[in-house]
Amino acid sequence: MAPNMSFYDRFRIRHGSAVDLSAIPTDDDGNLDQKATQEATTKLIERIVELQELMYAEGKHSLLIVLQAMDAAGKDSVIRNVFGPVNAQGLNIASFKAPSAIELAHDYLWRIHSVAPRKGTITIFNRSHYEDVLVVRVKSLVPEHRWSKRYEHINQFEQLLEDEGTHIVKFYLHISPEYQKRQFMQRLEDPKKQWKFNPKDLDDRALWPEFQRAYEAALSKCSTDYSPWYVVPAEKKWFRNHLIASVIVDLLESLDMRYPKPDFDPSSIHID
C-alpha cells in the first residue's frame, strides 16, 4: 500500500468510474484475522464514542452517515453493533419508508433536509434520499426525465451540507441474493422475527438485477471527494463492522477537533 493508504480505500468508489457490483465479492474479508480484527473494532468503536463527545463539546461539525442496501443486508445490525455505544443524546437515526402524503407534496429532499444532523451530533440515515434514484428508478415511480436530474441535485445538496460543516459518508452493504435468501428464511423460522418479514419484500428481490444497475449508477454518479460511497462486503459481519468503524474514526480524526477553552477563568469561580 502507498503511504496513507488504508485497507478500505479499495472499497471507495471513484466519481464517474464504471461500477460493476458483480465483480466485487460480497464475502470479502480483506484477508484479515477475525479475532484480531474484532478486538481492533472494539477499540475503534470506543474511539467513535470519544470523538462524538469531542464533536459535541467543540460544536463546529456534524456527521451524516448514509446506509443503503437490499433488504436483510444488515443495516439495523450496523446501527446496533457499530453505533450502539454512542451517547444517545448525540446520535439520531432517521429511517425513511415510503413517503407519506405530506412528504410527497414536497420535493423529495424536503423530508431529508429536515432531519439533517445538528452540530455536535451524528445522524444515521437508514435508507435515504438515494431511494429517489433507486426504487423510484427501478419501479418508474416518476418518469426518467425527473429521476435522471436527481443525481446532480443530490451532489449539490451534499456539497451544501459539507460546506456548512456536516460531513457525509455513505455505505452500500453489498450482499448476494443467496445470502438474502438465508436471512429471509431465518426470519420466517423465528416467531420473534416473523413480524419483520413482509411478503412484499419478495417483489424487490425479483428485481435484483434492476436494483443492482440502479445502485451502480448512484454509486458512480454520487461518490464525491466530499461525500464518498463505500461498497462494503457485508456477509462477514465482523469485516463489515471493522470497515465502517475504520472509515468513521479516520474521518472524525481528520477534523482535528479540540475541547473548547472556557471563556472564563475556572480558578476565579467561587461556589457558595
| Contact footprint for its own copies (CB under 8 A) | 57, 76, 79-80, 83-89, 91-93, 95, 124, 126, 181, 184-185, 188-189, 191-192, 194-197, 199, 202, 205-206, 259-262, 264, 266, 269, 271-272
| CB nearer to its own copies: pick between 72 and 154 | 72
- For the bound state, the minimum distance from the C-beta of residue 14 to its own copies, rounded and expressed in Å, comes to 32
Pairing of strands 122-126, 91-95: parallel
| CB nearer to its own copies: pick between 29 and 103 | 103
CB contact set of 263 (below 8 Å; sequence gap of 6+) = none
- For the bound state, the minimum distance from the C-beta of residue 50 to its own copies, rounded and expressed in Å, comes to 10
- For the bound state, the minimum distance from the C-beta of residue 20 to its own copies, rounded and expressed in Å, comes to 23
- For the bound state, the minimum distance from the C-beta of residue 190 to its own copies, rounded and expressed in Å, comes to 10
- For the bound state, the minimum distance from the C-beta of residue 111 to its own copies, rounded and expressed in Å, comes to 15
| CB nearer to its own copies: pick between 104 and 185 | 185
Neighbours of 26 (CB within 10 A): 21
| CB nearer to its own copies: pick between 145 and 200 | 200
11 Ramachandran zone, left/alpha/beta (phi>0; psi -120 to 50): alpha
| CB nearer to its own copies: pick between 95 and 159 | 95
The Cα 26–Cα 262 span in angstroms is 49
- For the bound state, the minimum distance from the C-beta of residue 257 to its own copies, rounded and expressed in Å, comes to 12
- For the bound state, the minimum distance from the C-beta of residue 138 to its own copies, rounded and expressed in Å, comes to 18
Phi–psi pair at 167, nearest 5 degrees: -85, 145
Long-range residue pairs from 81-88, CB within 8 A, at least 24 positions apart, any chain: 81/237, 81/241, 82/41, 82/45, 82/48, 82/241, 82/244, 82/245, 82/248, 83/48, 83/122, 83/124, 85/45, 85/46, 85/48, 85/49, 86/48, 86/49, 86/52, 86/122, 87/49, 87/52, 87/53, 87/56
| CB nearer to its own copies: pick between 43 and 80 | 80
- For the bound state, the minimum distance from the C-beta of residue 132 to its own copies, rounded and expressed in Å, comes to 22
| CB nearer to its own copies: pick between 156 and 198 | 198
Contact between 39 and 180 (Cβ < 8 Å): no
CB contact set of 21 (below 8 Å; sequence gap of 6+) = 174, 212, 215, 216, 231
